[in-house]
Amino acid sequence: MAMAVKPVEAASQCVILHGVSWATYERLLEDFEDRHAAHFTYDQGSLEIRVPSIKHEEPNRVLASLVDMLALEWDIDMRNLGSTTFKREDLARGFEPDTCFYIERVAQIRGKDDLDLTVDPPPDLVIEVDITHPSLDKLPLYAAIGVTEVWRYNGTSVTIYTLTQDAYTSSETSHVLPGITSAVLMQFISESRELRRPDWLRRVRQWAQSQANP
């Protein structure tokens, strides 16, 4: 089947291809295995290739640093697996998150360097920065694979999605990190733009210490 390209603006740094075989997707992953310039998402024949920009990467790193700091202050064991490639051939789906964490199921992957989603659990938390249009709707893909929670930042707000049965519902409060709300996430993203990095990290630490350990 011939691939169809969905045109996008050059500034979006994203292209979507349709009619892509699983074999082609896996060849691309192999060819770009040691490069981190592009992220690939595959959903039943549709392939999104995204090149992260500063507007994309900065809030991603801010939210990831926030989770790291909260885990430290609240003594929560977790693994930050960044943009690791996750895929299920039987579902014809695969993705490379902006950042992902194992928190509730971290014990199940302790010490493992290679994960097989037909055996191992998916991440508990995925951070997604989606300020590019058009882009694939990744929520059905994450739901099919079983990601517990998704934080999606669209450039102006953060929405927390929690998995209920086989679909996501928006929630004001995080399930995997109780005490975290959409408002808190946006507050720290906004403050990260205004404060020096050391001051911002101290601000996050002070806030975490002021909250009851969930």
Residue 163 lies in a domain: yes
**CA gap 140, 189 in Å, rounded:** 26
The CATH number of the domain holding residue 74 is: 3.90.1570.10
Q: Which domain holds residue 134?
A: 54-210
Note whether residue 187 is domain-resident.
yes
Task: Supply 14's token pair.
Answer: 């994203």
124 falls within a domain: yes
Report the candidate in 49, 76, 30 with the shortest Cα–Cα distance to residue 208.
76
What is this structure's pTM? 0.90
The domain tally of the chain equals: 1
Please give the full DSSP string across 90-141, using - where no structure is assigned.
Answer: GGTEEE--SEEEESTTGGGGTT-SS--TTTSPPPSEEEEE---SS----HHH
**Signed CA dihedral, 113, 177, 210, 158: sign only:** positive
- If one counts every other C-beta atom within 10 angstroms of the C-beta of residue 43, the result is 20
Distance, CA of 152 to CA of 150 (rounded, Å): 6
Low-confidence ranges of the chain (pLDDT < 50): 1-3, 5-12
Q: Which pLDDT does position 147 carry in this prediction?
A: 98
DSSP 140-197: HHHHHHT-SEEEEE-SS-EEEEEEETTEEEEESB-SSSTT-BHHHHHHHHHHHHHS-H
In a domain, 123, yes or no: yes
146 part of a folded domain: yes
- Taking only the tens place, the pLDDT of each residue in 165-196 is 889 999 999 999 999 999 999 999 999 999 99
Whether 180 maps to a domain, the answer reads yes
Residue 42 domain-assigned (yes or no): no
In a domain, 16, yes or no: no
Question: What are the helix (H) ranges across 22-101?
Answer: 22-31, 54-73
Which residues fall within 8 angstroms of residue 86, CB to CB, at 6 or more apart? 94, 95, 96, 97, 100, 115, 117, 122, 123, 145
Q: Identify residue 81 by its one-letter amino acid code.
A: L
pLDDT in tens, 93-119: 999 999 999 999 999 999 999 999 999
